[in-house]
Amino acid sequence: MPDLLEFRTVDTHYGDLHMLKSVDYRIAEGEIVCLLGGNASGKSTTMKAVMGSVVPTSGDIRYEGRSLNGVSTAERVRRGIAPVLEARRLFPRMTVYENLEMGAYTRPRGPEFDEDLARVFVLFPRVEERLNQLAGTLSGGEQQMVAIGRALMARPRLLCMDEPSMGLSPAYVEQVFDIIREINRQGVTIFMVEQNANMALEIADRAYVLQTGQVVLSGPAAELRQTELIRHAYLGELTAT
């Protein structure tokens, strides 16, 4: 299976703060890969680096075998990477429909657009019900559905999800994770950042665990679920130096 996304010894800095320290990730096409870790571990920075809002100070991020060095965010979206942002970040005073449209911003209108819209409606029937409502008036869980739908409207090959369960009630969390499984089954590769390690490991194929910017654990989800080491990493015990 060729790698869809690859981080090769990527370092990032924020001023003089060393955020990501020589991290390596490999996400093969069709996988669900989770990025786990406690607070301030570098998870969000990773997502930003994939989307292009953070530029690595060294190392290389490769997508579809080509380097993303110098590639704009808009171009990355066009090439098939779409984000589901942390805390949703829908456009509050635009309707649900308009938000979905914005997801397809880089694509022309046409039959493909209509297909994708229909697909979103199938996945999220409640979204179709609220099509003309202002996105800011929806509940957290509904917003998450719209946010995922918005990303799907870009017809992505790679979906980057930043903490999809944050702020959601347990019922919604289950729904969201079911939908993620279904999207993956339909062919979309998922790279997901999650605080909720337990649930993430139940749907992931593989996972990486970050601690203060370094990868301290990685492997198949099934293995990681058994080990005590994850707990250590989350509770901030110094496992790596």
* Contact set with other proteins (CB under 8 A): 15-18, 38-40, 51, 53, 73-74, 77-78, 83, 85, 89-94, 98, 101-103, 105-106, 150, 154, 165-167, 170-171, 173-174, 177, 194-200, 202, 230-231, 234-238, 241
Start-to-end Cα distance in the chain: 33
State in angstroms the smallest separation of the CB of 224 from other proteins.
Answer: 11
CA atoms within 13 A on the CB side of 110: 5
Nearest residue (CB) to other proteins, 186 versus 198: 198
Q: Would you tell me the crossing angle of helices 111-123 and 140-152 to the nearest 10 degrees?
A: 150
State in angstroms the smallest separation of the CB of 163 from other proteins.
Answer: 9
Cα 52–chain centre separation: 13
What does the DSSP 8-state code read for residue 69?
Answer: T
Please state, in angstroms and rounded to a whole number, the distance separating the CA atoms of residues 78 and 56: 21
Nearest Cα to 152, choosing from 195, 131, 196, 121? 121
Residue 63 phi/psi, 5-degree rounding, is -130, 130
Nearest residue (CB) to other proteins, 85 versus 131: 85
Nearest residue (CB) to other proteins, 8 versus 196: 196
Nearest residue (CB) to other proteins, 67 versus 72: 72
State in angstroms the smallest separation of the CB of 1 from other proteins.
Answer: 27
Nearest residue (CB) to other proteins, 4 versus 36: 36
| 127 and 156 Cβ atoms separated by less than 8 Å | no
State in angstroms the smallest separation of the CB of 61 from other proteins.
Answer: 16
State in angstroms the smallest separation of the CB of 82 from other proteins.
Answer: 9
State in angstroms the smallest separation of the CB of 126 from other proteins.
Answer: 19
Q: Is 43 exposed, middle or buried (0-12, 13-18, 19+ CB in 10 A)?
A: buried
